[in-house]
Amino acid sequence: MSLAEDTPPRATGFRFERWAPLILLAGAALIYVAVAIGTGQAQYLTLDNLIAILGRSIALGITAIGQTFVILVASIDLSVASLISATAVLASVVMDGAPAMILPAILAALALGALVGVCNGLMVSALKVNPLIATLGMSLIIQGCLSAFVSNFAGKVPVAFQVFAYGEIGPFPLALIFLALMAALAWAVLRFTRFGSDIYAVGGNEEAARFAGIKTGRVVILTHVICSVCAAIAGLYLASRLRSGAPWIGSDGVYDLESIAVVVIGGTVLAGGRGGIWGTMAGMLIFSLIDSVFNIAGVDSFAKQVLRGIIIVAAVAFYAIRSKRIVA
């Protein structure tokens, strides 16, 4: 895909791509501070408020961590939104208010996630179905099965499980710490394990990775399992937060497209092989800061949507405009 005159990255010096997410994040934070001061609402600049901003995007963050893995192997997962709905409903129905059923419910949700991930991975790697189509089809199947059984809030989450979304350790919400731990774990897997370097190898050039002896199919399936399990965890979090599961919570949050946008804004390339978790986390922060700016500035909700679309494109253009590649 790359052109002949594609300049090789310089070995030393300033590497724009590495720093771009931070530059964008700093820009978003500056705008946030400027708007808060400009509108005379300095109360939005406290640590508590910062935590509240972060708290709103935990589900998106968890989903985006998983999405980072599949995008790194040049795949994509559009089924996360309906999987989030499905696992939230499944967990809340299995629990149905009984604290004793919390563990089985969690296991059931994670198992469903793993199953969907294996199916997605097999379709992509063994049947060679384009990942966009495979996961889109999977999304339709999950959503169809789900809405055949439930049409409204179903089940009930016991108070003991609501701790996941509402519990706090010191000033920090439990869920935020959980997200940070997940991000750290994902970073460690990508940075220090053989599986992590296999992921980059497969994403960079699948053919070359296969010739180098990497079982590429297995890597692709595993990343899809990771992505779907992350979505299942996000579903559990949302069930805990909403105190019940409903078949529309995933599609309402547009978690499929938003998680992809977050990953891409974080500097992970859709073509695979380049990017990482911290960029994704920066992307999540950028998203939630922008949302807060809109709230503080009192932007009309429809105008908000228009600006959001433009910002997603502009943020990606910020990286992409420098590349000499011809993009798909």
Count of Cβ atoms closer than 10 Å to residue 279 Cβ: 26
Q: Which two tokens stand for residue 187?
A: 């970073």
Residues 232-291 interacting with another protein (rule: CB under 8 A):
257, 260-261, 264, 270-271
| Interacting span for another protein (CB under 8 A) from 144-152, 189-197, 206-214, 219-227 | 144-152
- The answer to whether 308 contacts another protein (rule: CB under 8 A) is yes
Size of the site for another protein (CB under 8 A): 50
Please identify which residue in the block is written with the tokens 């009930």. Answer: 156
Candidate residues 49, 147, 162, 205; the one interacting with another protein per rule CB under 8 A: 147
- The answer to whether 89 contacts another protein (rule: CB under 8 A) is no
Contacts of 113 (CB under 8 A, 6+ apart): 83, 87, 225, 228, 229, 230, 231, 232, 233, 235
Is the CB of 196 or the CB of 245 nearer to another protein? 245
Candidate residues 11, 47, 100, 326; the one interacting with another protein per rule CB under 8 A: 326
- The answer to whether 133 contacts another protein (rule: CB under 8 A) is yes
Candidate residues 22, 140, 163, 212; the one interacting with another protein per rule CB under 8 A: 140
Candidate residues 51, 114, 118, 136; the one interacting with another protein per rule CB under 8 A: 136
DSSP code of residue 172: E
Asked if residue 243 lies in contact with residue 87, where contact means CB atoms within 8 angstroms, the answer is no
Q: What angle do CA 68, 84, 307 make, to 5 degrees?
A: 65
Sign of CA dihedral 264, 135, 271, 322: negative
Asked if residue 325 lies in contact with residue 6, where contact means CB atoms within 8 angstroms, the answer is yes
Q: Which two tokens stand for residue 111?
A: 């198992």
CA distance 276 to 287: 17
Backbone angles phi, psi at 245, to 5 degrees: -110, 145
Is the CB of 173 or the CB of 245 nearer to another protein? 245
| Interacting span for another protein (CB under 8 A) from 86-94, 95-103, 141-149, 183-191 | 141-149
Closest distance of CB 42 from another protein, Å: 30
Candidate residues 114, 129, 180, 189; the one interacting with another protein per rule CB under 8 A: 129
| CA 20 to chain centroid | 19
Residues within the interface to another protein (CB under 8 A): 1, 3-4, 123, 127-130, 132-134, 136-141, 143-148, 257, 260-261, 264, 270-271, 300, 302-310, 312-313, 316-317, 320-321, 323, 325-328
